Amino acid sequence: MTQENDKNALVYLLAGFGLGALIGAVAGILFAPKAGSETRGELGDKIKDLKGKTEEWIAEQRAKRHANGATEEVGA
């Protein structure tokens, strides 16, 4: 059970870093001296990028969890 807690702690740590990076990126874009339409366009692009990366990461985590579950079933 300790190993599962370690995995959960790592996931929360990585999620925290990701959220911090997202907040920093948004703040940087919003405070940059650019035209509003240009800023909104960049922000939209960054959000689409982040959405794609998040979906990839979630798919990877699900695949890993599925693979680990299958390994445990075979090993048990």
- C-alpha 22/C-alpha 26 separation (Å) is 6
Q: What is the 3-state secondary structure (H, E, C) of 8-44?
A: HHHHHHHHHHHHHHHHHHHHHHHHCCCCHHHHHHHHH
Residue that wins the pLDDT comparison between 73 and 40: 40
Residue 72 pLDDT: 66
Residue that wins the pLDDT comparison between 39 and 51: 51
Q: What is the pLDDT of residues 20-42, one digit of tens each?
A: 998 998 888 778 787 878 878 88
**CA neighbours closer than 13 Å in the CB half-sphere of residue 39:** 12
Could you tell me the pTM of the whole model? 0.48
User: How confident is the model over 38-60, as a mean pLDDT?
Assistant: 88
- Residue ranges per domain, the chain? 2-75
Residue 49 pLDDT: 92
How many other β-carbons are positioned within 10 Å of the β-carbon of residue 8? 10
Confidence of residue 73 (pLDDT cuts 50, 70, 90): low
